[in-house]
Structure formats: structure tokens, C-alpha cells
Amino acid sequence: MPTLVLSFSLHTSFRAGCNSRPAVKVREPQLGPIRWNSGADGESPDGRKGTLMRRAVDNPVDGVAVDDVMRAALDATSGTHPHPNPRVGAVIVSPAGVVRAVGVHIGPGHPHAERVALASLGSVAGDTMVVTLEPCNHQGRTPPCTDAIIDSGIRRVIVGARDPDTKVSGRGIARLRSAGVEVIDSGLASIVEANDPSYYHHRRTGLPLVTLKIAMTLDGQIAARDGSSQWITSPEAREDAHVLRSRNDAVAVGAGTIREDDPLLTVRLDGYDRHQPRPIVFKGHKDLPTGARVLARDPIIVESHSGSSTDMAASLRSLADQDITSVLVEGGATIARTLVDAGLVDVLIVYIGASLAAGAGLAPFAGSFDSIDDARTIVFQSVERIGPDIKITAQIGDPS
């Protein structure tokens, strides 16, 4: 039975320009006191061994709580979708503890958060920069942020998390320190990573973070026997599902869903005018309908003739190579079963509609359930009421 590591964010309110609020209240992470040790045991909070930077708990920002300033940096990224780049916010604080500037990165080719914050000010000599991610030290579409920080006269940088990208991975920190800039570990890496889970997952695993979404009746039917399913869940739950779409790089379905429902796979929320996820269609030997609406949206067509776990893993790795850091899978039953069998589901979200089928229609997973020994362990992360429906967020497998 596969064990999957959950990497799911329940951290930020939806601020993507919607006039109507989502039916679900999305919870903020709690930034409590920093209780990491000072490194005397030679181990960092995430379990990595080695030389540690000084901890922010030992180095308050001139009377300003580090967690408060890091919160401002994280809040600055709310509503941004810069993938495949990371979500990054930066705050510059004066020696008197006053927040002077806030910068955010909005996407590839645009200035990074550190440079945005610096550009809004004149002299910053002696100031402190609090940034959610380790500054880059390589030339990409934009120049290295470390150069801008060093040239500016910033005396101290507090880093939220190290960048897992192999092009950075400690090099930014090393460059700043070699130039005499004090670099401090915030001790808040787990919270910072929760602000952009798919980026960290993508860089560490070479795979997109996969969320499997299921909408079903109380007794586990995703559609009637005739294929009809509109609507099993309430308008409130469907709105929340569109919020989910807005947070993912791509939305994937099987060819059967395209033939049956002809979906556009777009985010449809009042006032929403930002990122639209890339549509992905998994297909076998049969061709897609030539008039399918999704074809006008430049979908990625994944041909998977064998339907094996190995084939699915290779397909996901190919998507990651195309800079897809997260995929929301919305159907169908064969794809769902293949992903679960392959241990490729990172987050499971189930909407249970306030309805009872009271009969056998279509189940959320293909195949048979032959023995109770075949059942997989589920670890519930949250259970929420959305309108008349229930939303369950879980991981599959034992986290230990």
C-alpha cells in the first residue's frame, strides 16, 4: 500500500478579484512563537544535518517580531500565480523597526520580489530585508537578486526558506554571507513552504503536485448509470471547486469526461480575471470529438494507451518538464484508480453532496474492490461544511 506525503496549503484567503466570497473560509496558518532550537544538536527543523545559520529567534529585527514581518511578506503574495517560478514576497525594515517597502514577484520575466522592494526606495543602507525564499544567485530571465541586495547596502537578510531548486540551493545564502551580509534563518520554513506547496514539491520530486478531486453522493456515486451528474453538489461546493482550479497550474480529465460533459475546464468566479489553468486531457486509442470546447484552449493531450502506473508516472514527469507544478485531476474513474494505485495522489479532496443515490450508478474509481485487505488507509486533514455539502481533505496512506 503506497505511502504518500501530503503537501497541501490551507493558508491564504482568496484575493483574486472575486466580487463574491467563496463559500468556504480558507484558514490562515498560525504563526506562533518560534521554538526551534538554536542548532546545538546540529539538526535543522526540517531534519537536515549540517551547519546552521543563526536563528531569527536569537536576532529580533530591532524590536519587530520576525513572524509579523514574514506574515507581511507572505500576504504580499496572496493572489499571485507566478509558476513555474516560486511565490516570493520581500519586506524591507528600517533600523528603527519600520516597514519601508514590500515587493512581490508576479511571474517569469518580471522582477523578483527583492528587486521590486529595493526599487521603491532610495537608500537602504543598514536596513533589514525579510524575504520568504532564499535570494537567487544565478542569471536567468532576470539578474541575480544577491547582487542587488549586496549593492544596495542591506545589512541583514532574514530568509523564510531555502530554495530547493538546484540552481540556487544554498548558493544565494553563501553569496550574501561572503559579501558580509548577515543572513538569518527565520525558523518558519514549514509555514513558508505551505504558501506555495507545489513549487517545493515540483523542485524536490520532479513531479507536479497532484490533487485528486471527487464529487459524489453520500453513498459514493459520482454519476447516475445514464452518466448524468449535474448537479450532485451545491452551487457553494462548485464555487469552492473553482477556487481549487484557480490555485493549480493545470486541470486534468479523461477523454470520457470530454465526450460526456464537453467541459471548458476554466475558472468561473464572479470578477475573476487572473490565471486560468492549462487543460490536460488523458486519452487512449479513441480520438477526441473534433468540436470539443476544450480544444480551443490549447490543451496538453496525454496519450496513455497502456493505462499502467509506470505510464502514468512518466506522463506526470513529462508535465513537470513542461513547467506544470500542480495538477487538479477531476476525472474520470480510470484515471483516479491508476493514480491511486501508482501512489501519485498527493492530496485527495472529496465533496460529498447532500444527496443519496440509493442505488448503483458510477463509482469514483474503476475496477473492483475484492477484499477488505485492499482498502487503503486515509488520513483526514480537514472536514468542512460548504453550504449543504461536506468537503473532506485527506491523504492516502499512513504518514509515518
Catalytic-labelled residue, pool 28, 43, 114, 330: 114
User: Is 384 labeled as catalytic in the residue annotation?
Assistant: no
Q: Encode the chain in three state secondary structure.
A: CCCCCCCCCCCCCCCCCCCCCCCCCCCCCCCCCCCCCCCCCCECCCCCECCCCEEHHHCCECCECHHHHHHHHHHHCCCCCCCCCCCCEEEEECCCCCEEEEEECCCCCCCCHHHHHHHCCCCCCCCEEEEEECCCCCCCCCCCHHHHHHHHCCCEEEEEECCCCCCCCCHHHHHHHHCCCEEEECCCHHHHHHCCHHHHHHHHHCCCEEEEEEEECCCCCCECCCCCCCCCCCHHHHHHHHHHHHCCCEEEEEHHHHHHHCCCCCCCCCCCCCCCCEEEEEECCCCCCCCCHHHHHCCEEEECCCCCHHHHHHHHHHHHHCCCCEEEECCCHHHHHHHHHCCCCCEEEEEECCCCCCCCCECCCCCCCCCHHHCCCEEEEEEEEECCEEEEEEEECCCC
Q: Kindly list the catalytic residues.
A: 114
